Amino acid sequence: MSGDADPSEADTAARRAVVAKRVDSGAADLTEIRQLAAAAGYEVAGELTQTRTEDAAFMFGEGKVAELRDLVRRTGAGTVIIDNDVGPYQTFNIGGELPEGVEVVDRFTLILEIFGQRANTRKAQLQVELAELRYELPRAEAKASLAKRDERPGFMGLGEYDESVERDIKRQISEIRDELDSIAEKEEARREQRRDSGFDLVALAGYTNAGKSTLMRQLADELAVDENDERHRDLDTTAESQDMLFTTLGTTTRRAEMEKRDVLLTDTVGFIADLPHWLVESFESTLDSVYRADLVLLVVDASESVEEMREKLVTSHDTLYERNEAPIVTVFNKIDRLAPGELADKRAALSGVAPDPVAVSAKTGAGVAELRDRVEGELPEWERERLVLPVSDDAMSLVSWVHDHGHVAEETYAGEQVTLDFEAKPSIVSRARARAADIAAPPTEESA
């Protein structure tokens, strides 16, 4: 009988993890890294924290690394997830102190693993690959620098370095950027086509687990978009709403139910704390759905502490206002979790960063009607127009088109004329006027 381990047991051990975090001061919070680990499919079997300045060689103190080794042995974990930005040599040093075969994963490697699992479209896959390459590039450059300085290709056990590796990474980054630029151009053309069709574009933004996808299901009219319609053939059929980080990696667009206006609502990947600049930039193409919207709904989890809400609001505003020109409406979600009087206290405490939030519960639907009213009120103003047309087939075609692209307040018929009183986007009003002028114009000699 073979003494080899059962492959299924090895797989189980690999997905069993110990999470660890070091902070300079205060107490380390492992809540988010536990959620991230669960989102990646790990079972958290143990936890370790340390408050001290960073150790250049091990990130943690050597004594704490010994504790980590013992914890891994006791729990049978196959992976150690460290909620810090761990350098390549620190990763190597920590791994050298752990039982053989135990993998060391830092915060950003874990996030990239989750992104890779969620990447179901070509665009998402390209963005994940770009992030992975940008993560690897400085490590490749560091290997080159140290190998040249110490004249030891295998310095620190990192393996022999080949300069072509660095060049190849840069080449791949350039090729992926070119393909993502091409995709972005097509998406921008699609956005403009939707605007030309009379749609306003509203984007949901906010941190992971703020409830964006659940709110989208409250606002969306699941039956309103014909999936075979050429204008919306790219729209997803569902918007997931699970208590899990990063259930939405790409974008999901649905038609939203509004009283007057035709609105397309897009849910995007959630923000997450302490993301490095290179990772945010890698997903810039996805964030274009937010940056180029007509209105942004910034969703915040109102059940969190005031301090957490303020920090996330400030960071979100910094991210959005840097490139976004559309108005931003702050949405306090999950009010069903608040005690009586708690919402008023949080409104007052956060008035400086969220002066006029809309309070909702995406779970129960409370406040959603008020949010719809706010969305219509904050979108760019429509123009009012009154057209008087001779009754004809062309006029009836125009009347039908205006109904599809604007809000008709009154449609009356008197004799051989139809009067149409409506509101619409300025571009739609301009096109309606031009078509009305052609219908009302007397025939030329050539056409006669």
What does the block give as tokens for 226? 């014909």
d(C-alpha 128, C-alpha 271), whole Å: 15
Q: Are residues 32 and 79 in the same domain?
A: yes
Q: Is 207 annotated as a binding residue?
A: yes
pLDDT of residue 276: 65
Chain Cα centroid distance, residue 438: 45
Residue 346 annotated as binding site: no
Question: What's residue 149's pLDDT?
Answer: 56
Ligand-binding annotation for 324, yes or no, is no
Domain edge (last residue) among 355, 378, 401:
378
Domain shared by 95 and 123, yes or no: no
Asked if 175 and 312 sit in the same domain, the reply is no
280 is in an annotated binding site: no
Q: Are 187 and 250 in contact (CB under 8 A)?
A: no
Q: Are residues 39 and 174 in the same domain?
A: no
Q: Is 445 exposed, middle or buried (0-12, 13-18, 19+ CB in 10 A)?
A: exposed
165 appears as a binding residue in the annotation: no
pTM recorded for the entire structure: 0.65
Domain boundary among 81, 115, 149: 115
Confidence (pLDDT) at 260: 80
Same domain for 161 and 254, yes or no, is: no
Residue 360: the pLDDT is 96
Tell me how many domains the chain contains: 4
167 and 202 both lie in a single domain: no
Single out the residue of 160, 194, 136, 156 nearest to residue 56, CA to CA.
156
334 is in an annotated binding site: yes
Based on the domain organization, do 204 and 335 belong to the same domain? Answer: yes
Choosing from 95, 115, 135, the residue where a domain stops is 115
Does 189 map to a domain?
A: no
The number of C-alpha atoms within 13 Å of 290 and in the hemisphere containing its C-beta is 29
Is 352 within any annotated ligand binding site? no
46 & 62 share domain:
yes
282 annotated among ligand-binding-site residues:
no
Please check if 221 is assigned to a binding site.
no
Residues 46 and 172 in one domain: no
425 among annotated binding-site residues: no
Q: Is residue 19 part of a domain?
A: yes
CATH number of residue 404's parent domain: 3.30.70
Bridge partners, residue 418, by sequence? 389, 413
Angle, vertex CA 351, rays to CA 348 and CA 353, nearest 5: 145
Residue 353 known to bind ligand: no
Burial (CB count <10 Å: 0-12, 13-18, 19+), residue 208 = buried
- Does 268 show up as a binding residue in the annotation? yes
270 within domain boundaries: yes
CATH classification at residue 266:
3.40.50.300
Rg (CA), the chain: 28
Q: Is residue 193 part of a domain?
A: no
Per-residue pLDDT tens listing for the chain (448 residues): 344 545 555 566 678 999 999 999 999 999 889 988 998 899 999 999 999 999 999 999 999 999 999 999 999 999 999 999 888 889 889 999 999 999 999 988 888 888 888 777 788 788 888 888 888 887 777 666 655 555 544 444 444 555 678 889 999 999 998 998 888 888 778 777 777 777 888 989 888 788 888 899 899 864 333 333 333 334 444 444 444 444 445 578 888 878 888 888 988 767 766 666 666 666 666 677 777 888 999 999 999 999 999 988 988 887 777 666 788 999 999 999 999 999 999 999 999 999 899 999 999 999 999 999 999 889 888 888 899 888 888 889 999 888 888 888 899 998 888 999 988 878 788 888 888 888 876 555 554 4
Provide the residue range defining the domain that includes 111: 7-115
Would you say 229 is a known binding-site residue?
no
Domain-located, residue 2 = no
137 and 205 share one domain = no
210 is in an annotated binding site: yes
- Residue keyed to tokens 């571009």: 427
Residue 48 lies in a domain: yes
- Backbone φ and ψ for 159, nearest 5 degrees, come out as 95, 165
| 294 is an annotated ligand-binding site residue | no
Q: Has 209 been labeled as part of a binding site? A: yes
Is 248 flagged in the annotation as binding? yes
- Decide if 212 contacts 266 (C-beta within 8 A): no
For residues 221 and 111, state if they share a domain. Answer: no
Residue 362, annotated as binding a ligand: yes
Answer yes or no: is 288 a known binding residue.
no
- 71 within a domain of the structure (yes/no): yes
Tell whether 206 and 285 lie within a shared domain: yes
Q: Residue 93 maps to which CATH number?
A: 3.40.50.11060
> Is residue 75 in some structural domain?
yes
Q: Is 274 annotated as a binding residue?
A: no
